[in-house]
Amino acid sequence: MPSTANTSTSQPLQLHRRVVPAAAQGPWTVDAIQALLDKPLMDLLFEAQTVHRQHWPAGDIELATLLSVKTGGCPENCGYCPQAAEFDTGVKAEKLMEVDEVVRAAQAAKDAGATRFCMGAAWRAPKDRDIEKVSALIGAVKGLGLQTCATLGMLESHQAQALKDAGLDYYNHNLDTAPEYYTDVVSTRAYQDRLDTLQHVRSAGISVCCGGIVGMGEAPVHRAGLIAQLANLQPYPESVPINSLVRVPGTPLADSEPVDPFDFVRVIAVARITMPKARVRLSAGRQQMGEAVQALCFMAGANSIFYGDKLLVTGNPDVDADVQLLVKLGLNGHRTTTTETDDLQAHAQPQGACA
C-alpha cells in the first residue's frame, strides 16, 4: 500500500528514535528495545518470565471475547482490515445490533468462561447518537457481571465521558505500528488522532486497551518503535493486545510475508518486560500459531487471550481447543472479580503517571 501524507497537520510528540519517557521506568528508547529484541531467545524468555512472575500469579490467564456489534462499511483504509468499505473482502455493512442480541452473545461468552466482553463497531468516529446506543449495550452487558470493553474508532472527550458514565471499563484503540511505518498501513487517519483518542479515554477515567499488529511488512525497528510508543504512554495501557496479521484476501496486506513465529514470541516478551503490570493479550492470528508457539508466548509473559476464534457458544470447537490447551499447559482461566479489577487498575499505572 503506497505511503501518503497524513490528513492532519499535527504530528505525534513521540517520534523516531526517542519517545517521551514513562515516569516510573523511562525512557524506553527504540534502541534499548531493539537490544532486547536482539537477545538470544532463551535469555529473553528467561528475563520476560522473571519479570512476569514478579507482577502476576503463575498460570493466570484472562479470558476475553470480542463481538462485532456493527460490521462493515468503515470509511477508513487500514490495509489489514476486511471491514473497510473500499476493499472487496465479502464483508457487507450491517447496522448496529439490538440490545437483546448482544446480551445473548454476552451470556454465551460468560457461560463459556469469558470474563471480559469487548464490543467492536466499524466506525471511523461514532456520532453522539451512536454513543447513546452503545451506552445501552454497555449497561446491559455490565448487568451480566462481565467487564466491558468497546472499540468504536476515534472519540471526542465528551463521548469518552459518556461511555465512562455508562459503565465502560476498557476502551480499545490500537496504535497498530510505529509512527514511521504508519502511513504505509493507513492514510485516512493520522497517528496523532490515535494518541488524542487515547488521551480522551484516559481523561475520562476509562482503562486503556492498546496494542498493535505484527507481520504487516514492517522492519524489526518498527516493532521496536511500536513497543516504545506503548511503553512510554503515561501510564502505559492496562491491556496490550499483540496481533499477528490475519491476511485477508482483498485487503492491501493480503500478500504480506507471514511473521516468523519466534519473532512474534520476541515481541510478546519485550512487551512484558517493558510493561510489567499490563495484561499482554494474544489476539488476532492466535489460532494459526499452533500450540507450541502459543505455549512460548505464555512463557514470554502473555496472560490474556481472546477466547475462541468465533462468537462464543456452548460447544464451540475453538473454545474446547482453548480449554484443552490451557489444561495441557497447567494454566488457569482467570475470573476477575470487581475488587480484583479495581486493584489491578490501580497497580497498572506507573508511579507518578498522570491519568
User: What is the distance in angstroms between the CA of the first residue and the CA of the last residue of the chain?
Assistant: 36
354 is annotated as an active-site residue: no
Q: Is 297 known as a binding-site position?
A: no
Q: State the catalytic residue, choosing from 116, 118, 210, 223.
A: 118
C-alpha cell at 225: 518503535
Q: Is 202 known as a binding-site position?
A: no
Q: State the catalytic residue, choosing from 202, 281, 286, 297.
A: 281
CB atoms within 10 A of CB 92: 9
**CA 273/CA 131 separation, integer angstroms:** 36
CB atoms within 10 A of CB 19: 25
Q: For residue 332, which phi and psi values (nearest 5 degrees)?
A: -120, 125
Q: State the catalytic residue, choosing from 202, 209, 272, 286.
A: 209
Q: Is 354 known as a binding-site position?
A: no
Residues with Cβ within 8 Å of 215's Cβ and at least 6 positions away in sequence, in order, are 244, 245, 256, 257, 258, 259, 264, 285
78 is annotated as an active-site residue: yes
281 is annotated as an active-site residue: yes
149 is annotated as an active-site residue: yes
**CA 136/CA 139 separation, integer angstroms:** 5
Could you tell me the CA-to-CA distances from 224 to 119, 124, 174, 179 in Å, in that order?
A: 29, 27, 15, 11
Q: Is 281 known as a binding-site position?
A: yes
Q: For residue 312, which phi and psi values (nearest 5 degrees)?
A: -70, 130
297 is annotated as an active-site residue: no
74 is annotated as an active-site residue: yes
279 is annotated as an active-site residue: no
Q: State the catalytic residue, choosing from 74, 202, 266, 272.
A: 74
- Residues in the annotated binding site for [4Fe-4S] cluster: 74, 78, 81
- Active centre residues (catalytic): 74, 78, 81, 118, 149, 209, 281
- Residues in the annotated binding site: 74, 78, 81, 118, 149, 209, 281
- Residues in the annotated binding site for [2Fe-2S] cluster: 118, 149, 209, 281
